[in-house]
Amino acid sequence: MKELKTILLSALALLGSSAISAQGTIYDATKLIGSDLNGTARYVGMGGAMGSLGADITTMGTNPAGIGLYRSSDAMVSFGFGNSNVESNFKGMNNQVDHFYGSFDNAGFVYSYKVGNETSIRFVNFGFNYKRTKNFDRNMLASGTYSASQTEQMADMTNSSNASVNELQDNYAYSNQYIPWLGILGYNSYLVNPWYNSKGELGGYDSFFQSNENGHDEVAGVYRNTERGGLNEFDFNIAINVNDRVYLGATLGAYYLDYTRRSTYDEDFTYYGNNAVTGVPFGGYTLDNYYRTSGSGFDFKLGFVIRPFETSPFRFGAAIHTPTFYRINEYGAASINYDVDIYNEDKGIYEAMQGTVFTHDRNGNEWQSETQYKVVTPWRYNLSLGYTIGSVMAIGAEYEYADYSTTKLKYDDGVTMEQETQDAKDMLNGVHTIKVGAEIKVAPSFAVRVGYNHITAAMKDNAFKWLPSNSVRTDTEYSNLKATNNYTFGLGYRGNFFYADLAYQFNTYKEDFYAFDNQYLTKTDVTHKNNRVVMTLGVRF
């Protein structure tokens, strides 16, 4: 019996460890799903609608059979630069931030092996491609006068944890798997304060600020962030040409994630409630957050392209992508710099409290969390059409679908994170992607391209970022992205050996931004306008 008890206690300890060690949210998971419109300049210039047209290295990541249309070997590299413009608007208060960046977009090759003209299999092609699947580089600034405060979320999380004052004050507080880090920071900076009942017993915790539905109490809030990094894809492909009518392909994809966000959120309580009349300054605080994720994953893609009529260049294709299986490492640290006036009931006066608190270990040294979890993305389905008019014109259309609500988050030991996975079911949509593009030869060696790409919203309007009461996460901000539109234009030169392509892309989308979760916090409207130029240099031999 004693041994059984020991085993049960050990199991409970492991479960508790898993609960605190995995803190991924649906907002982290969606960064791993889907892709930006990126690849070769030809692919970008045609809006990505090349699944059935093929003979472009980027297609091994959408429809692997597109590589089967190669009849010669190919090697290329793509690079460029861009500018992201982020404009926020909260009740007429506008902020705008630009960020200029350079990019190394993709590099790859295809080795084309001709089997023969009389055999059923005409070509067997092998390919490799590196692609910057997602680029996270952006800066943002949002501000406004809010009828809610982040300190309320701090207090709510602290109350949910049932932490005692001694536990919040303890040097081991950040090692306690049942207490939220945000609550510890809030308590130690006088933003979360205990209250006691008539018997002198702890009744719970109040935030420094109490919002109300009438919006009479307000704080001035300012949010800033800097995001860097990307999702990188490495594709290994094999494709075959059967009788110049059927093309089959398979791609093994490997992924590497590197993402960093540094953010600050300021709240000024100087004009809080009735104190605007008395002129009592309550001060404010700044929450600094550092958040980083890295990880790797893999998936498998199968596809075909068929030319159904021997006398017609029309062809259609289809592809299926398995879920991508990710293992994620997550890191986070935070600090609060505070300057607030606290009312001393014994003295009957306000006293200024100033200082800086930060996440720390038992010895008082700055400390960051380190957790691991897994993400399984949804299946992806792709249909495409292609048509060529001699060597003068090519037209492509493509449709993709992925049900983001089937995303699964798991602890590092493989156990499903029930709440987070349920959040995905409740708050994420099925996402539709439509791509159309055309290429026109204006001269034997020169071409002009246009394209359009539309991606529907992944998030439902009522989605929010849920942080459990024992969370080590202190970054409360989240954004519900709307539909994305890409407009593209491109130019291309094809010589006997060398080729060069240039593409311009205008990308725009909107999002509803919230610095924290509160029923009285109104969304900030954010508009993204991104301009990008991509150039591809390559050789065919």
Q: What are phi and psi of 45, to 5 degrees?
A: -60, -25
Label the pairing between strands 219-242 and 246-268: antiparallel
Q: For the residues of 302-318, what is the DSSP string, one character each? A: EEEEE---TT---EEEE
Q: How big is the chain, counted in residues?
A: 541
**Per-residue confidence (pLDDT) for residue 341, from 0 to 100:** 84
Statement: residue 16 has pLDDT above 60: no
Domain of residue 423, residue span: 2-38+139-224+257-540
| 511, part of any domain | yes
| 125, part of any domain | no
Statement: residue 333 has pLDDT above 50: yes
Predicted confidence (pLDDT) per residue in 19-41, tens digit: 444 578 999 999 999 999 999 99
Statement: residue 287 has pLDDT above 70: yes
| 351, part of any domain | yes
The tokens of 57 are what? 């290295």
Nearest to 186 by CA among 365, 338, 23: 338
Mean pLDDT of 472-485: 95
Q: What are phi and psi of 20, to 5 degrees?
A: -90, -20
Mean pLDDT of 390-397: 93
Statement: residue 238 has pLDDT above 90: yes
- DSSP code for 363: T
Mean pLDDT of 349-369: 88
Distance CA 429, CA 80 (A): 32
pTM over 0.85? The answer is yes
Please tell me the total count of domains within the chain: 1
Distance CA 223, CA 142 (A): 5
**Per-residue confidence (pLDDT) for residue 282, from 0 to 100:** 75
| 103, part of any domain | no
Q: What angle do CA 471, 186, 333 make, to 5 degrees?
A: 50
- DSSP code for 521: P
Distance CA 404, CA 494 (A): 40
Instruction: Calculate the average pLDDT of the chain.
Output: 90
Q: For the residues of 212-271, what is the DSSP string, one character each? A: -TT--S-EEEEEEEEEEEEEEEEEEEEEEEETTTEEEEEEEEEEEEEEEEEEEEEEE-TT
| 76, 57 contact by CB (below 8 A) | yes
| 420, part of any domain | yes
Please tell me whether residue 71 adopts helix, strand or coil conformation: coil
Count of Cβ atoms closer than 10 Å to residue 309 Cβ: 10
Instruction: Using pLDDT thresholds of 50, 70 and 90, give the confidence band for residue 209.
Output: confident
The tokens of 61 are what? 């990541």
Predicted confidence (pLDDT) per residue in 52-106, tens digit: 999 999 999 999 999 999 999 999 999 999 999 999 999 888 999 999 999 999 9
| 77, part of any domain | no
Nearest to 303 by CA among 379, 226, 251, 362: 251
Burial 363-381 (b: 16+ CB within 10 A, else e): eeeebebebbbbbbbbebe
| 401, part of any domain | yes
| 348, part of any domain | yes
| 285, 188 contact by CB (below 8 A) | no
Please tell me whether residue 136 adopts helix, strand or coil conformation: coil
Q: For the residues of 464-503, what is the DSSP string, one character each? A: -----TT-------EEEEEEEEEEEEEEEEE-SSEEEEEE
Mean pLDDT of 322-344: 92
Question: Amino acid letter at 378?
Answer: P
Distance CA 402, CA 259 (A): 23
Alpha helices, H only, 297-404: none
Statement: residue 541 has pLDDT above 90: yes
Mean pLDDT of 327-332: 95
Nearest to 490 by CA among 58, 38, 56, 45: 45
